[in-house]
Homo-oligomer: A and B are copies of this chain.
Amino acid sequence: MRDVAVINVGVTRFGEMWDESFRAIGIEAGMQAIMDAGIAGDDIDALYVGNMSAGRFIDQEHIGALIADYSGMASAHIPATRVEAAGASGGLAFRQGFLAVASGLHDIVVVGGAEKMTDVGDVQSNSIQATAADQEWEVTLGATFASLHAMIAKRYMYDFEAVREELAAVAVKNHRHGAMNPKAQFRREITMDTVLNAPKVADPLGMFDCSPNSDGSAAVVLCSLERAREFTDTPVKVLASSQASDTLALHHRNDICTFAGTRVAARRAYEMAGIGPQQVQVAEVHDNFSISEIIAIEDLGFFDRGTGGKATVDGQTAIGGNVAINTSGGLKARGDPVGATGVAQIVELVHQLRGEADRRQVEAEVGLAQNVGGTGATVVVNILGVA
């Protein structure tokens, strides 16, 4: 396995893009990443696309070929592969692209992630998001994706005597970060009161504990580290990439307040990178719900079990804290076009490690991205570092 670098990135603004089609959004980030890197279509060896459910959201499967075609890669007949693991689709696409270059099979690979969620109504969108959970044993019995996370939150509050404010602090912090990200869906700060007094989605989670429906895409160009400086002065090295699965249904786990998928994927990634969690200075984690971020930062080893919420209240996960979590605004404020999210996490890390994060900039040599499918049945952890 040889060293791999990210040589360029692109990301669209996330939000409700009523006037743009999936395919227009899907190629925008990729074209940005390719053109900025000075790469032509013929230089590209393969395309990997992360997408959760275009079949349901826009009646279109065959997303790899679609993106290749509309990016102008069809004339070169470039292999185009869509991967799906619900919310982890983007991180998984990045991992497949990384492996394709690390193995020596390909030299230059484009990884994209895209989703267009706003062409369907909210009820339909909720139903589609629930396809990430176990249809036969969870969804048909009435569970929504939010209610599954509400159960996790309830149990966490019980097990660790956590207070409602610990959850809310995640949303407040991520909106503060998102306000500094020009590509974020929500670019305004919110107060603790706003979160606490918002209409309930699934008790104890209110509207501001949940990430929004979003449209958007993100892309990165990967290359062998050896050749990376042909294209950029600031390559970012992929230190590790790992992936783990777990039971699809929540009730098959012994403990729902920790995701074994995250713990296993993180352990494998730390081993591969030769570092521990204390070396990570900036991380994008999967805060599809406020409780998810708290559990993520514990499972990743940044904080002890039961202390992630308290650390968030104390400001330890904000920009300027011990480890800056979701400087982009996270899924909560940057937005969550599902298939794009895992790739957008990488884009934010690259901006941070290159010193291009503007008002969100933190001092960092190593960044980590954790991308989750369902309630943790797929977890992908990628670690990047200054080359």
A103 touches B99 (CB 8 A): yes
Q: Which of A74, A133, A374 has the most CB of B within 10 A?
A: A74
Shortest CB–CB separation between residue A377 and chain B, in angstroms?
4
Question: Which residues from chain B contact A248 at a C-beta distance below 8 Å?
Answer: 62, 65-66, 69-70, 74
**How far, in angstroms, from A25 to B107 measured CA to CA in the complex?**
38
Known: A62-B377, A80-B85, A81-B96. 18 other contacts (CB 8 A): A1-B104, A58-B135, A59-B131, A61-B84, A62-B84, A62-B85, A62-B86, A62-B133, A63-B84, A65-B245, A65-B378, A68-B245, A74-B246, A77-B245, A78-B244, A84-B84, A102-B103, A103-B105
Q: Interface range on chain A: under 10, 10 to 19, 20 to 34, or 35 or more?
A: 35 or more
A37 contacts partner chain B, Cβ-Cβ < 8 Å: no
A4 CB, nearest partner CB in chain B, Å: 12
Q: Are B100 and A62 in contact (CB under 8 A)?
A: no
Binding site for B on A (CB under 8 A): 1, 21, 23, 47, 52-53, 55-56, 58-66, 68-70, 73-74, 77-86, 92, 96, 99-100, 102-105, 127-128, 131-136, 139, 242-249, 252, 260-261, 264-265, 373-374, 377-378
Report chain B residues within 8 Å CB of A139. 59
Q: A243: which B residues are within 8 A, CB to CB?
A: 79, 81
Q: Please state if B60 and A85 are interface contacts (CB–CB under 8 Å).
A: no
Dominant secondary structure at the A interface: mixed
Cβ–Cβ < 8 Å partners of A83 in chain B: 81-84
Q: Are B377 and A65 in touch, CB under 8 angstroms?
A: yes
Q: Which residues of B contact A136 (CB under 8 A)?
A: 21, 23
Q: Return the contact of A244 from the options B79, B84, B128, B265 (Cβ within 8 A).
A: B79
Q: Is there contact, CB below 8 Å, between A82 and B84? A: yes
Are B245 and A73 in contact, with the CB atoms below 8 A? yes
* Least CB distance, A347 to chain B, in whole angstroms: 22
Q: From A21, which residue of chain B is reached at the shortest CB distance?
A: B136
Q: Do B264 and A77 touch across chains, with their CB atoms under 8 A apart?
A: yes
Complex CA gap A245/B128 in Å reads 28
